[in-house]
Structure 1
């Protein structure tokens, strides 16, 4: 997976969701880089990372790749932050490698088997129909739905272009289709509710009050199942790291500093 790193201090790994890439986190890492070493990755098939085959052990393979990155950088423990599908990868990583996490943060958590793909995406997940409709749906999704969700008129145009780049060109619509055929949520995410109670690390869960993609019940359910967690609602749509980077960064720093104080036995101020 393509990896970028900035800053210095305690390490944080940021995991984006679909259909974005590591660029999602830049405004957040710009706020944190003076105190933390910030790693961002591009998930397979997104950003600058090549696509991988999906399968029943996809999340476990990703977790192992992420831990290989930790080992490569000689990190004993780090904080891990995920958005959307990146939250699903985050909790799977915590499930397999909890001993290497200090804190966890989940933004717009999309990891329950009741998850329903966005209505424009659903046809792409069907064989033959998806192949036929890919060009039309890709245009509608990116030029209408994502423009509105990202508030492109207010957001740096570069952000939209970075997200869209892997799916531009003649073959782009079918690349987009293949990325979205990652599996059925009711199967791929079936085990998540069963292991969330085992994740004992301090956890912060964010939900956007105007999020049209992920219901607030998902965030509340996650908060009720993860023992050492709390939930925050921000004035935001789905893409919280873009619309509320300072609030996210400040809340993350407070969580990490509180954890550090607990570990070292220093008073929390």
Structure 2
């Protein structure tokens, strides 16, 4: 890993202590933030301790130039946060980019990973999406990085677009809605390169922690094929397709997502 990474970016996070010492860390992707997990947290509260984070450059975390927003560096920032909070080991749940970060954590920091869940995650060379690349150098109005672009991306990625109630939409759009929002979103896009996950493919068979792969049946951004391929590379992993769900399965069908997550956590805790 890169030792020159800046260590002191401020990461926004929320910690919900539970009755158990088991800690579950939730990691979002682009273009969302920690609010992505709001529908899931109530299912875990009281039983597990929960940590939700805003990746550096996203949500209410500190902004940074794109070389410092790569997935390997995001993984380092999360390890730094765990050190700060004195959390030696945790269960990790990652969506989209977060799914790639969880894979990197499992490969490079296996001693910190009790288990992992990849939900509709980036892997191999299936990313960044053309839609995400388009905002780097927009050639038309529809590709301008803006809250409207984010809203369209969310709606197109959902099986039930109507779940984007005003509060949900506000929570997911607000961090990129300021005057620097377009530039910040561009920086986030510029940081993304499929080699960040493709380069760890040879190491995926070495992952030994309990692993569950959850994929929305109707994910039009990262189709379930990729979950199956990841399942074939990670030993003893479980692959489950979530019906009536798109790319944002935790928003489309939170009760089902939470049910599968709790099954995973109970099994992994007793592993």
The TM tier, using the shorter chain, reads 0.7 to 0.9
Cα distance change on mapping 1:19 and 1:195 into 2, 3 Å: same
Contact 1:205 1:223 in 2 (8 A): yes
Contact 2:32 2:172 in 1 (8 A): yes
Question: Do structure 1's residue 260 and structure 2's residue 269 form an aligned pair?
Answer: yes
Question: Do structure 1's residue 226 and structure 2's residue 205 form an aligned pair?
Answer: no
Deviates more, 1:107-116 or 1:50-59: 50-59
Counterpart pick for 2:188 among 165, 179, 185: 179
- Count of residues in correspondence between the two structures: 257
Shift of 1:138: 3.0
Deviates more, 1:150-159 or 1:82-91: 150-159
Shift of 1:208: 0.4
Matches within 5 A, 1:91-102: 91-102=103-114
Runs of 4+ with >6 A deviation: none
Question: Do structure 1's residue 205 and structure 2's residue 213 form an aligned pair?
Answer: yes
Contact 1:118 1:213 in 2 (8 A): no
Cα distance in structure 2, aligned partners of 1:65 and 1:220 = 29
TM-score normalised over the length of structure 1 = 0.86
Contact 2:216 2:249 in 1 (8 A): yes
Question: Do structure 1's residue 106 and structure 2's residue 118 form an aligned pair?
Answer: yes
Cα distance change on mapping 1:58 and 1:37 into 2, 3 Å: same
Q: More helix per residue: 1 or 2?
A: 1
Q: Which residue number in structure 2 is paired with residue 83 of structure 1?
A: 95
Cα distance in structure 1, aligned partners of 2:259 and 2:203 = 29
Q: Which residue number in structure 2 is paired with residue 3 of structure 1?
A: 13
Contact 2:151 2:173 in 1 (8 A): no
Cα distance in structure 2, aligned partners of 1:31 and 1:177 = 34
Q: Which residue number in structure 2 is paired with residue 37 of structure 1?
A: 49
Cα distance change on mapping 1:92 and 1:78 into 2, 3 Å: same
Q: Which residue number in structure 1 is paired with residue 83 of structure 2?
A: 71
Shift of 1:174: 2.8
Contact 1:134 1:173 in 2 (8 A): no
Contact 2:147 2:173 in 1 (8 A): no
Cα distance in structure 2, aligned partners of 1:138 and 1:81 = 27
Q: Which residue number in structure 1 is paired with residue 133 of structure 2?
A: 122
TM-score normalised over the length of structure 2 = 0.86
SS state at 1:4 partner? strand
Matches within 5 A, 1:212-251: 212-235=220-243, 236-251=245-260
Deviates more, 1:217-226 or 1:134-143: 134-143
Query: Could you list the per-position Cα deviations for residues 87-127 of structure 1 after superposition, in whole angstroms to 9, with x for gaps in the alignment?
Result: 011111111111121111000021222425143x333223x
Query: Could you list the per-position Cα deviations for residues 123-168 of structure 1 after superposition, in whole angstroms to 9, with x for gaps in the alignment?
Result: 3223xx46x8587453652343433435453333212112111221
Cα distance change on mapping 1:137 and 1:215 into 2, 3 Å: same
Counterpart pick for 2:25 among 13, 16, 22: 13
Contact 1:124 1:133 in 2 (8 A): no
Cα distance in structure 2, aligned partners of 1:260 and 1:46 = 30
Cα distance change on mapping 1:194 and 1:57 into 2, 3 Å: farther
SS state at 1:55 partner? helix
Rg larger in 1 or in 2?
Answer: 1
Q: Which residue number in structure 1 is paired with residue 8 of structure 2?
A: none
